[in-house]
Structure 1
Amino acid sequence: MKSLQKGDEKLINAWAFYDWANSVYSLVIATAVFPIYYESVTNGNNGKVHFLGTDFNNTTLLSYSLSFSFLIVALLSPILSGIADYTGNKKKFLKFFCYLGSVAVISLFFFTGQDTLWIGILGTVLASIGFWGSIVFYNSYLPEIAYPEQHDRVSAKGFMCGYLGSLVLLGFSLTMVMKPEWFGITDPSLPARLSFLAVGVWWMGFAQITFYFLPNNVYHKKPEKDFIFKGIKELRNVLYSLKKLVALKQFLTAFFLYSIGVQTVILLAGLYGKKELGIDTSKLIIIILIINLVAIFGAFVFSRISEKIGNIKTLKITILIWGGICVAAYLLDAKNENIDLQFYGLGATIGMVLGAIQSLSRSTYSKLLPDTEDHATYFSFFDVTEKGAIVLGTFIFGFVGAITDSMRNSFFILAIFFLLGFIVLSFIKEPQEPNK
């Protein structure tokens, strides 16, 4: 096949299609179906489970497993990215993590209860590593498949494809779970397990389109044999250069601060709605659908706004809205007769700025990069920053909730991190000149 040129619409669409392929993991596995299924098959014995010779609370074990996967990705991605940049073979790394994640998700089909808990936990860890590991290399392609003036729209297109694809498969999965008789299913555990199987096949299958069109070794590198040492040296060089790139350092600082809020809200808003506000599970699923549907529109609208007023100003607008979301969540009262409608409205607002802040963060970081061939290594620091924000944000949320006996106060604290992110962004100049 003749290689497609940078900026080619077919190449951009192929890149964005990986979002269509992998986002089903984040919605079906990480957010909607698997957590509910996991809770249902491990809630015997008052939610106590036995794993690796130790007794755990079931939700605590799942939380520890995900934290462990984030730690592994945070440790590995900079090193592997340095090797990928040195050798020029980051598509191979993208494929490896894609296949690792999709096969791990498929393995969850065999997780049927406490006797197969090890499959559920191992599958959860490997699927998370596969997803987040592949995202590093996927994001790093953005400067190589599109020109700087295209980055906002291209990044938004990726997230829009992801939200749409995940909604399609989630709709199918929820139909199986809620109406198993339509499919002739009598085993109550089978619908959820079939949805895990579908996610893995969907992820692996649709990724082939991306793999077929994406280039490999764009800069025609010819690595020497000691590629591991040279890759680590590549990482060290990038780390040293970051010290001199003031705008990039400032952006990573701001990204870390507001990501503490964004990622924590994404992960724990459902738990807040269920335990603090008494929202039914069925209504929480509706809210998840609303968030992802509105996020498609939000990513599109704010990518256009950024073209008019610039990335930094647009990001600051989204951060202000996110701060308002946290304050609104703090003010919600479970006793209010309209609490369901209020939470739906909050979910729609989250959706509007969720796609926007994610796509704009990726494209802004890409625009701020220097003229470099080490895109994977640079984006690994972007990824590690986000993972660090997740770990700290979830810890702060839980800690504040524990000492105050209310998750409501945790949301108020998150608003402070959005304010700090806004302040740091205010010191960054808009990226003007193309640097690719």
Structure 2
Amino acid sequence: MYDWANSVHALVIVSSIFPVYFSATILKAYGSPMMEFMGWTIKSSVLFSYTVSLAFLVTAAIIPICTAIADNTGTKLRFMKFFCYLGAVSCLLLYFFTKETISWSIVLFGMSLVGWSGSIVFYDSYLPEIATEDRFDRISAKGFSMGYLGSVLLLLFNLSMILAPSAYGITDKAMPARISFLSVGIWWMAFAQIPFKYLPKVAPRANRGRYFLDGFRELRKVYQHIQKQPYLFKFLMAFFVYTMGLRTVMYVATIFGASELRLPSDSLIITVLLIQLVGIVGSFTFAWLSSKIGNIFALMVGVFVWIGICMGAYYTTEAMEFYILACTVGMVMGGIQSLSRATYAKLIPEGVEDVASYFSFYDVTEKLAIVTGTFVYGLVEQVTGSMRNSILALLVIFVLGMILLYQLPSQTRYQYEFTEE
């Protein structure tokens, strides 16, 4: 149900309505994609990529401290709530996004990303506590599917306002999008109360203090243990690389369609809606595929498809080609994410007490991958002036991810002995 609650942020704010509204507002305010931000002249699509990079860099920096406090005091759920409300309130405040408040709205967008990504760290760490290993793949896939379904329902409502504002008595063309941002914050906070009520409480560890240092010590300790687990270490290397490409595509796809292909706003939003619907099937397809050929081989299939997506995107010039690519993205997007989370949960050594610290390491790895991927994408576009060259950079990243995955055996279950040092 937390997937159901928070996925509206990924769909409405990150992937569909906000990027379209953002681009349109910049054009209205400046007459071109170039804009002023805190005394810096920059292309709006590049600023979008850099904002995502900075938000996830901030998350990666503060999460070790937060997980250390959560482990020592048994307040994991409290931290999950804090980041949830930070993200949701930021979305509520985006209601005031106009051409007069562009700079502040970009900051709010970044804060919403920090809130979303921070809450996911603690959310992910609950998986081993609420399900047995034989159910990891299916439970993880079910979470992503619930997220797709919930976010689609809210997007349909928002899309109806955008396409037929008069039916709601709305005359201001910008108002439907702003109401959409408001609805995300309300939806997110409201449905989050269900998991907040039912998720188990975690017993505190001995309170050692020095939380700032403890958080990074825990990460170093986890890293030292991971180095002794060859499969786990190699998997995280591969995960870091292919996540650089995967999550970057998720964050910039709509901007690419709006800026490079000049697709109309309603077409872009409908395309994202289609991705979510296909993604429901994709999540369960990859869970089924992993049961037949193993987790690693299933992930390799997904990464191979992403390589094809990047090749197709580089040559895409027509709307129909973009829509076909979007459907393909939907099939592999959630499937790889859910399977990656389940694979990592299986690889965590048995007997580990600090599960939150292990998932903190996983999520910090993911956040740094997003930082690197979105920064590289934005930098290549800024230097070369073309998003298509950025797509080629992502293609190279996916190929490297495939090579790293190939070094792992495709087993669906891994057992390790774990001894606390």
The TM-score, its normalising length taken from structure 1, stands at: 0.87
Q: Give 1:277 shift.
A: 3.7
2:233 is aligned to: 249
Q: Give 1:399 shift.
A: 4.3
> How do 1:16-95 and structure 2 match up within 5 A?
17-43=1-27, 44-47=29-32, 51-52=37-38, 57-95=43-81
Do residues 121 (structure 1) and 106 (structure 2) align?
Answer: yes
1:260 is aligned to: 244
Larger CA deviation: 416-425 vs 142-151 = 416-425
Pick one of 355, 375, 389 that aligns with 2:355. Answer: 375
Q: What value does the CA root-mean-square deviation take over the aligned residues?
A: 2.3
**Is the Cα contact below 8 Å between 2:50 and 2:374 reproduced in 1?**
no
**Is the Cα contact below 8 Å between 1:300 and 1:356 reproduced in 2?**
yes
2:334 is aligned to: 355
Larger CA deviation: 401-410 vs 141-150 = 401-410
Distance 1:420 1:313, change over 3 A: same
Aligned residues between the structures: 413
The one-character-per-residue Cα deviations of 1:346-405 (angstroms, maximum 9, x if unpaired) are 111111111111110111111111121222222222222222222322333344445655
Pick one of 116, 119, 142 that aligns with 2:127. Answer: 142
> How do 1:13-412 and structure 2 match up within 5 A?
17-43=1-27, 44-47=29-32, 51-52=37-38, 57-114=43-100, 116-217=101-202, 219=203, 221-224=205-208, 229-332=213-316, 334=317, 339-371=318-350, 372-401=352-381, 406-412=386-392
Q: In structure 2, give the amino acid aligned to 1:432.
A: R
Q: In structure 1, give the amino acid aligned to 2:335.
A: A
**Is the Cα contact below 8 Å between 2:8 and 2:147 reproduced in 1?**
yes
CA distance in 1, matches of 2:45, 2:387: 17
Gaps of 5+ in 2: none
Distance 1:275 1:236, change over 3 A: closer
Do residues 427 (structure 1) and 412 (structure 2) align?
Answer: no
CA distance in 1, matches of 2:323, 2:45: 25
**Is the Cα contact below 8 Å between 2:159 and 2:269 reproduced in 1?**
no
CA distance in 2, matches of 1:120, 1:171: 24
Distance 1:60 1:243, change over 3 A: same
SS at structure 2 position matched to 1:432: coil
Q: In structure 2, give the amino acid aligned to 1:343.
A: F
Q: In structure 1, give the amino acid aligned to 2:284.
A: F
CA distance in 1, matches of 2:168, 2:75: 43
Larger CA deviation: 291-300 vs 41-50 = 41-50
Distance 1:393 1:233, change over 3 A: closer
Q: In structure 1, give the amino acid aligned to 2:413.
A: Q
CA distance in 2, matches of 1:184, 1:425: 53
Q: Give 1:65 shift.
A: 3.1
Distance 1:360 1:38, change over 3 A: same
Distance 1:322 1:231, change over 3 A: closer
1:416 is aligned to: 396
The TM-score, its normalising length taken from structure 2, stands at: 0.90
CA distance in 1, matches of 2:357, 2:103: 33
Larger CA deviation: 172-181 vs 118-127 = 118-127
CA distance in 1, matches of 2:142, 2:84: 20
Larger CA deviation: 158-167 vs 340-349 = 340-349
CA distance in 2, matches of 1:19, 1:233: 30
CA distance in 2, matches of 1:413, 1:51: 26
Q: Give 1:64 shift.
A: 3.5
Gaps of 5+ in 1: 1-16
Q: In structure 1, give the amino acid aligned to 2:357.
A: T
**Is the Cα contact below 8 Å between 1:98 and 1:204 reproduced in 2?**
yes
CA distance in 2, matches of 1:87, 1:63: 36
Report % sequence identity. Answer: 47
**Is the Cα contact below 8 Å between 1:79 and 1:235 reproduced in 2?**
no
SS at structure 2 position matched to 1:315: helix
Q: Give 1:57 shift.
A: 4.8
Q: Give 1:112 shift.
A: 2.9
Q: In structure 2, give the amino acid aligned to 1:68.
A: L
The one-character-per-residue Cα deviations of 1:154-205 (angstroms, maximum 9, x if unpaired) are 1101100111111111111111122111111123332212111111010000
**Is the Cα contact below 8 Å between 1:148 and 1:435 reproduced in 2?**
no
Distance 1:195 1:404, change over 3 A: closer
CA distance in 1, matches of 2:42, 2:376: 21
